[in-house]
Amino acid sequence: MIAGTLPRYFGFRFLKSVVGTFFGVVALAAMIDYVELLRRSSDWPNATALVLAEISIFRVPQLSERIMPFAVLVGAMSCYLTLSRRLELVVARAAGVSAWQFVAPSMVGAFLFGVVATTLYNPVAAVLHERSKRLESEMMGELPASASQGSAGGFWVRQRNTDGAAIINAKSSREQGSRLGNVSVFTFDNAGRFLERIEAKSATLDHGYWRFDDARVYATGNPPIAQDTYRLATNLTLEQVRESFATPETVPFWQLPSYIELADRAGLVAAGYRLQYQQLLARPFLLTAMVLLAASVSLRFFRFGGVQKMVLGGISAGFLLFILSKFTEDMSKSELMSPVMAAWIPVMVGGLTGFVVLLHQEDG
């Protein structure tokens, strides 16, 4: 009875602490993001406080996904330090309960939390983020391309066909690159001579051509020509466009395998999609590794002192793990490391570090 009750108690305390920390981080991220949107929207003609709040709410779930491992780390540390401060760990130790019995329920809880985050939370966050981009583009849609950010920003893609070449720049991308906002296009003939520049409010990829809405065409020696709709032939497929304009973070977990398969058929690398898929698969194990790191710096009695050093050590370990994950992510996107290694190396490093330190503390 006691053996079953104690793990459930520790598991419940862990989940309560982690969920509370996670929602606290989400609320903080929402406030920061809303203030940032208010600052950016000073020149948006259709911006209202209510719409900006809606955009921020839709954006926050994806923002919170990035800081989910640290919410688990901080929540686990808070849980164990609270149990130590209230002498519950002392009583459990006196009853012969080992550190592994403290940690096992939390590891199971973190793993289940990660499974839910990957299979349910991520698809919802991806859909909401796509919706936030749609609302943001509607508010910014009346701005000409020249009023947006500098020409060096945004998304870029180059196309070539029998008529010549074209370089397309878009400030925003929706629906995995099939719809673009604030578009600038530079066209050239087969000899590489500049022909014309096209600026449009939006562009849509159709079968064999780009359709530009509310376009203005600039040609050397001719006055600008305004057209409601302008078509530019293209041999780009949706899979090729996704490589340049789509962000893997906006693709729900369950759709990533089909995206990768389509990219393979088109002869594309799709490194970003593969990395995103592997990171989502590794997320439950990464959260479990965070529990081991938290336990390695938190399972110490308050009467021994050094609590500040323990907290600082845990935060430092999480920060170093974040740097490692960013490094492997950049290596993978540069095709210098396989997506599998990039996603799983931080998990193995974090898990093994926490396991070895905890093993040394428990068994000497």
Smallest CA-to-CA distance from 237 within 178, 301, 188, 322 is with 178
- Distance, CA of 319 to CA of 325 (rounded, Å): 10
133 contacts: CB under 8 Å, gap ≥ 6: 172, 173, 174, 250
Rg of the chain on CA atoms, in Å: 25
Residue for token digits 């759709």? 255
> Which domains does the chain possess?
2-140+270-363 (no CATH), 145-246 (2.60.450)
User: What is the band of 153 on the pLDDT scale with cuts at 50, 70, 90?
Assistant: low
- Distance, CA of 99 to CA of 230 (rounded, Å): 68
With a cut of 70, say whether residue 1 has pLDDT above it: no
- Distance, CA of 98 to CA of 3 (rounded, Å): 12
Q: pTM for this one?
A: 0.75
pLDDT at position 234 is 84
Mean pLDDT across 254-279: 79
**C-beta neighbour count of 348 within 10 angstroms:** 14
- Distance, CA of 10 to CA of 13 (rounded, Å): 5
Give me the torsion for CA of 75, 81, 86, 87, rounded to 10°: 130
Give the DSSP H or E segment for 16: helix 2-40
Smallest CA-to-CA distance from 183 within 165, 162, 205, 161 is with 205
CA–centroid distance for 81 within its chain: 30
User: What is the band of 152 on the pLDDT scale with cuts at 50, 70, 90?
Assistant: very low
pLDDT at position 141 is 52
With a cut of 70, say whether residue 144 has pLDDT above it: no
Lowest mean pLDDT among 213-227, 230-244, 337-351: 230-244
User: What is the band of 2 on the pLDDT scale with cuts at 50, 70, 90?
Assistant: very low
- Mean of the per-residue pLDDT values of the chain: 80
- Distance, CA of 52 to CA of 40 (rounded, Å): 10
**Residue count (the chain):** 364
Q: Give just the sign of the alpha carbon dihedral 205, 211, 212, 218.
A: positive
151 DSSP assignment: T
Portion of the chain with pLDDT greater than 70, in percent: 83
With a cut of 60, say whether residue 146 has pLDDT above it: no
pLDDT tens digits for range 176-213 = 667 887 888 888 888 878 888 888 888 888 888 888 88
301 — phi, psi (to 5°)? -70, 145
pLDDT at position 119 is 94
Among 44-48, 103-107, 299-303, the range with the most confident prediction by mean pLDDT is 103-107
Looking at the DSSP assignment, which residues form a beta bridge with residue 219? 196
Mean pLDDT across 126-132: 84
With a cut of 90, say whether residue 278 has pLDDT above it: yes
